Structure 1
Amino acid sequence: MTITFVVNQVRKELAGYTTTALALEAHRRGHTVYYAGVGDLVYLSDGRVGAHSRKVPDREFRSRHTFLEAVVAEEKQLTNSKDWDVIWLRNDPAADLEKRPWAQDAGVLFGQLAQQQGILVLNNPDGLIKASNKMYLQYFPESVRPQTIITRNMADVEAFYRDQHHRIILKPLKGSGGKNVFLIDKKDDKNRKQIVEAICRDGFAIAQEYLPAAKKGDIRLFLMDGEPLLKEGKVAAIKRVQQVGEIRSNIHQGAKAKKAAMNTEMTRIVASVGPLLRQDGIFLAGLDIVGDKLMEINVFSPGGLIHASEFQRVDFMDEVISAIEKKVADNR
């Protein structure tokens, strides 16, 4: 099969990204693999979707580092949907929020057209539009998510803050990677208004109840087609433990990854959210779970699959690409 990975900018990809590992696995299995940045996408005069893509060279690679170096060194070539079997939208719109706002929606918009042309688009662009911000969480049962308000009104935040005994989490409705996430308590009385105003400059703010279990970190659990991603009976999940004095559990914010296993709380959450993810065409998702609550659903470019593979000593990338191969075969 021919698979094109759409990322924010090819030159800014890293060897430690899950996308790199997935693309390398597809290449190792003999597939034709292209990389394209969001800005490389194009609508052609014949009505097809295309991209100025970098093709992975036809040779073996010893590591993800040498693989990515070879990709970046390649000259771009124009390809189009006539030659593609799969487009995988692995770009993070939130990363383009400030400096490249034009790029935020480009991937899903081109993806919708490509889907109409018979291309398998992952994740389903219609589902990605629905899940493009943290409001998507409110579509799921109240029993598995924290108490939440979404607002741009300071009085709403103040009332929620009092109801939550003067301790809440504040973050932007659109965002990723733990950026602008704050724990607000009585120590922040003087700065609370300023923090809300700063978040609301770019849109809506989310205020959530603070979960004491967050002190122990969170779990990133991968779902594939609405079910836990498994290989040899082992689950693709990692525990992320934040640094001392830090509330964010994101790996690139300094959190440490550890081995994780399924528990009853995670099983209950999967049962509640999996069917809708599958219905919305979210092929691969990362659930962020604190205690018995689902904090976020990552649908664009969830990371951490390399860590999960290392801890469990199995190759989850193999399982993912195998599932895509089956989808392509069924699509023909």
Structure 2
Amino acid sequence: MKIAFIINDHSTEQPNYTTAAIGYAAYKRDNDVYFIGIGELAYASNGHFSARCKTIKGSTFKSQETFFKAMQKEEFSRITSEDLDVLFLRNDPSDEINDRDWAQNAAFIFGGIAVNDKVLVINHPSSLASAVNKMYFQHFPEILRPKTIISRDQKEIKDFFKEQKNKMILKPLQGSGGKNVFMMDKKNEHNLTQTIDAICRDGYVIAQEYLAEAKNGDTRLFLMNGEPLQVNGKYAMMQRVNASGDIRSNIHAGGRPEKVKMTDQILELAEIVRPKLVQDGMFLVGIDIVGNKLMEINVFSPGGLNIMSQMYEEDFATEVVKSIERKVRYKNLYSNYLYNSRLATL
């Protein structure tokens, strides 16, 4: 198959990222692999999706790092939706805030054009467009979520703070990677007004119940086709332990990855999330769990799959590619009878 990955930018994408791991796994299985930066997307005069891309062929690589670095050195070539079987949207819109606002919605728009050309687009672009901020999380059953309000009103947020016995989490509605996440309590209550104002500059504020278990970090679990991703009985999951004195457990924010065992409680949370993810065509998703609650559902570019593969000595990325290959086979067998949103999670 011919599979293209949309990334934010070639200059910021790293060889050890999850996208590179999946791309390398696809390459090893004799698929044609292409990487496209957001700024390289185009709409051709004949009505098709078009893009400048980077690809490499005819070489053997011993690791995803050597594969990706070699691919990055290649000259740009061009590909269109007529050539592609799969378009995997792996860019993170929150990385474009302020610097490249025009790039936040581009992948969904051009992904929709590719869908019209019968390309399998994952995750489903229309659903991704509705999930561009954390409000998407509020459409899942309340039993999954910490108590939350979303507002720009100082009084409403401060009243929630008192309701939560002077301890809560503040973060922006749009963002990821632990950026601008604050734990407010009696010790820093004097900064509450300033903190709310700072987050409000970029939009709405999420005020969220503080979960005591968060001091131990969180658990990142990958879901594929709505089910926990596993290979040989080992799950694609890890405990992300907070750096000392930091409430954020994201790896990019200094969190430390550790092995973690699957529990019935985590499986139950995953089962409750599954129906909506399947309905929305969310093929590959990362859920972040604290205690018996979900803190976040990452539907754009969840990371850590390469770390988990090393940790458990299992090739999770290849399992992802095998699932995509099956979808391409279904698409070819059924021609125009399967909608992209349904095919994405078959």
Q: Normalization by structure 1: what TM-score?
A: 0.99
Contact 2:32 2:57 in 1 (8 A): no
State how far apart, in whole Å, the 2-side matches of 1:235 and 1:65 are: 24
Provide the secondary structure at the position in 2 that maps to 1:83. coil
The Cα offsets for residues 5-36 of structure 1, whole Å up to 9 and x where unpaired, read as 10000122112100010000100100000111
State how far apart, in whole Å, the 1-side matches of 2:317 and 2:219 are: 19
State how far apart, in whole Å, the 2-side matches of 1:257 and 1:56 are: 32
Equivalent residue for 2:100?
Answer: 100
Equivalent residue for 2:13?
Answer: 13
Aligned residue-pair number: 332
What is the 5 A alignment of 1:313-328?
A: 313-328=313-328
Equivalent residue for 1:299?
Answer: 299
Please provide the CA RMSD for this pair. 0.8
Deviation at 1:40, TM superposition (A): 0.4
State how far apart, in whole Å, the 2-side matches of 1:174 and 1:109 are: 19
Deviation at 1:132, TM superposition (A): 1.5
> Which 4+ stretches in 1 moved above 3 angstroms?
none
Provide the secondary structure at the position in 2 that maps to 1:115. helix
Letter in 2 for 1:154: Q
Equivalent residue for 1:273?
Answer: 273
Contact 1:27 1:56 in 2 (8 A): no
State how far apart, in whole Å, the 2-side matches of 1:271 and 1:54 are: 38
Contact 2:287 2:296 in 1 (8 A): yes
Provide the secondary structure at the position in 2 that maps to 1:149. strand
State how far apart, in whole Å, the 1-side matches of 2:10 and 2:87 are: 15
Provide the secondary structure at the position in 2 that maps to 1:19. helix
The Cα offsets for residues 213-254 of structure 1, whole Å up to 9 and x where unpaired, read as 001110000000110001111111010001110000000111
What is the 5 A alignment of 1:109-120?
A: 109-120=109-120
Between 1:172-181 and 1:254-263, the stretch displaced more is 254-263
Q: Normalization by structure 2: what TM-score?
A: 0.95
Between 1:69-78 and 1:161-170, the stretch displaced more is 69-78
Provide the secondary structure at the position in 2 that maps to 1:11. coil
Provide the secondary structure at the position in 2 that maps to 1:272. helix
State how far apart, in whole Å, the 2-side matches of 1:189 and 1:233 are: 46
Provide the secondary structure at the position in 1 that maps to 2:190. coil
Equivalent residue for 1:289?
Answer: 289
State how far apart, in whole Å, the 1-side matches of 2:216 and 2:62 are: 37
State how far apart, in whole Å, the 1-side matches of 2:312 and 2:188 are: 41
Equivalent residue for 2:159?
Answer: 159
Letter in 2 for 1:7: I
Equivalent residue for 1:312?
Answer: 312
Equivalent residue for 2:209?
Answer: 209
Q: Which structure 1 residue ranges, 5 or more long, are not aligned?
A: none
Equivalent residue for 1:55?
Answer: 55
Equivalent residue for 2:178?
Answer: 178
Equivalent residue for 1:191?
Answer: 191
Equivalent residue for 1:79?
Answer: 79
Deviation at 1:58, TM superposition (A): 2.2
Q: Among the aligned pairs, what percent are the same residue?
A: 48
Contact 1:127 1:281 in 2 (8 A): yes
Deviation at 1:326, TM superposition (A): 0.1
Equivalent residue for 2:338?
Answer: none
Query: Quick check: 1:121 aligned with 2:141?
Result: no
